[in-house]
Chains A and B, each alone.
Chain A
Amino acid sequence: MDNSAKHLLQRLVRRIPASMLKSTVDKWGRLTAEKRKALDFTQSKWTLTQELVALCEDSGLTVKHITELEMIYITENPNQGMWHTFQLVDPEDDAHSVELMQFKEQFKSHLRELKRNVSVKIKKHTDEAVWIRVAWGDDLSRPNHLKATYVVHYLQTPYVFVNALSSKHKPLLLQALTLSTRHQQIKAANLSGQKLTALRDLLMRQYRQVFPTKYPSPLVESDQSISKLRIEKVQAEASANRHRMAGETFGDGMLPALQSAVFKLETKFKDPTNEAMTQRDEPFICSVKFSSSNLLESLRHCASSGIASTPVTPLLSSIPLKGRNYFVITDNVPT
């Protein structure tokens, strides 16, 4: 095992939390059962790393195998780093019949055409997600496995999620993706975050949306303490309306755990008491960021409790409706 492989393995073992190390190594399956039994996972990470390196060297494992281990770890724990979403547009006629083998071959060949020294690994996950790992090299150097890019795509959907992609390699990756999925263009989808599962669930509509029906559901039961009874009676209808509108805008039950939304304002400053600012001709540029452990549930609560007015303003309802969390607002047209 050469030094780069050792280094990669050391870095990887440091990265994987101690609680997950055993199960990840077991799933990897590259070490025989007896070798795995010899590993004592209660030791310190440092000692464990040395042992693992020794075992892997003994088994004759290479960089290729270590990258497998990394891919298994990331696939099982995708909610780390920063994922950015892209959207494929203008499908060709045969875009809808692209199947896995074809996609794999086409992607690898297109990417290699654009950049010779790349190491590509493609694997299909049980939930039909296609995971791609790309380690980039160039004419002079071998692929750098320490800074690999990860891509997740579900075939026959327009969305692609990308992690750790440098601006230098971005056009190459996007072109290879566009061609191998038989589309004509790809554009930024303005949806990013740490939790891949949240981004995916939002775009694939894997959460309970609420639609108007012929049979409205009954009012939610509230506690009947006498003092609140009179207030409740008067407020019941307004409260029920707010709940309904909040539910229709954001959804029901557990919502995808989006963690932030950014609004970049390029609008004229409007405050009649501040002449100095309103006199300026240029728009006032500022950026507003909402952060939460679950932004959509927070916004839904704001709407249902009356903190945010209902019907919910398009600025907020666009987040679930358009599946974006980055907006640029100008005076002419909010996009």
Chain B
Amino acid sequence: MEGASARGVLSHLSLLEVQARSRGSRVPQQPSRVKELKAKIEALTSQRDQLKAELQLHKKLQKLRAPVDKQQEDGEDEEMDLDSESSELFHLMARHSELMDLLHAHNLIGGYDAITTNRGKGMCFSLATEYEGVYLDTYNLELNLKPNVRISRHNIPPFIPLNSLAEQSDLQSDVRPFLATVSQHLNAFAGRRQQLKLVKEQHKSVEVMESNLLCSILVLMFTVPKEKTALLCTLEYNDHARCLPTRVHLNCEDELLPDSPKWKKNCSLLMEVPVHRALTAIKKASDIV
């Protein structure tokens, strides 16, 4: 028994020895390794050439684009040695990349962003709203472009009269005025809503008697110090594209109070300054509690 297994082990060992010797004497597999490395060099070279070509293309496009604020009028160092067809193509590509950058910049400064959807048959706009440097909600609006320009779906709340705004502008020729108006309405609404939120947070002594979803009307109850009389202040925001009221009027049991010069001044302050800041000023002047 032992002999058999020993034979098995020994024969295996001698096999390994033969293999080791042959490996040692064989020429190292350089040709295949060399081939591998050569192929890699080729791939990297072609990649480098491709990148070089793209870089050249971009440089040419940059030159074709309208000079923004560079003062580089110091002569072209390369003549456009292209035939008319590809030159037109280059011009189009330059214009396209210019517009894409403009759109990106527009979005960065708080304007709307746009992408094409559905293989070019539609567009989706995302309209951001902000107030006093703080980003608020973002709304989306999808348009179908074929057969004619139509609003397809959106998440704009129903108290923004989207359909009537669409009817008022000519969607078929240019959507930009329509989008500008919608963005204006949305931003104004977001601003008015934010003002209401700040009034509730910062001025707990002021009671909000009435408001509505559109934030186009606000009725506040002030308490005048000393006599502790109640003063009802109604702010009407009839221009839904603005964050400031179009009309402010006061109601008080003491009929003389609203006509006092102090309160006339406060009324005009409320017309010119966002309500939460106006209230801070009025409180500071100790006109209200």
Contacts and interface: CB of A to CB of B under 8 A. Distances in A.
Interface of A: 91, 96-97, 99-100, 124, 128, 154-159, 203-205, 209, 211-214, 321
Nearest to B141: A211
B158 A205 contact: yes
Nearest to A97: B238
B155 interface: yes
Contact of B115 (A128, A158, A212): A212
Given A96-B240, A157-B158, A204-B157, A211 B126 contact: yes
Contacts of B115: 212-214
Instruction: For chain B, give the interface size range.
Output: 20 to 34
B206 to A, nearest CB: 17
B195 interface: no
Contacts of B153: 209, 321
Contacts of A205: 155-158
A96 B161 CA distance: 9
13 contacts: A100-B210, A128-B213, A154-B213, A156-B159, A156-B212, A156-B214, A157-B157, A157-B159, A159-B158, A211-B126, A211-B142, A212-B124, A321-B153
Given A100-B210, A209-B140, A212-B115, A203 B124 contact: no
Interface in B133-182: 140, 142, 153, 155-159, 161, 164
Interface string B237-254: 010100000000000000
B117 interface: yes
A128 B214 CA distance: 10
A43 B236 CA distance: 51
Contacts of A156: 159, 212-214, 216
B126 A154 contact: no
B158 A203 contact: yes
A212 B113 CA distance: 11
Nearest to B114: A214
Contact of B140 (A91, A128, A203, A211): A211
B212 A128 contact: yes
A107 B47 CA distance: 75
Nearest to A157: B158
A225 B47 CA distance: 37
Interface pairs A-B: 6 shortest CB-CB: A211-B140, A156-B159, A157-B158, A209-B155, A156-B214, A128-B213
Contacts of A154: 159, 213
A99 B142 contact: no
Contacts of A212: 115, 117, 124, 142
B211 interface: yes
B155 A211 contact: yes
B217 interface: yes
Contacts of B161: 91, 96
A323 B173 CA distance: 29
Contact of A204 (B117, B158, B210): B158
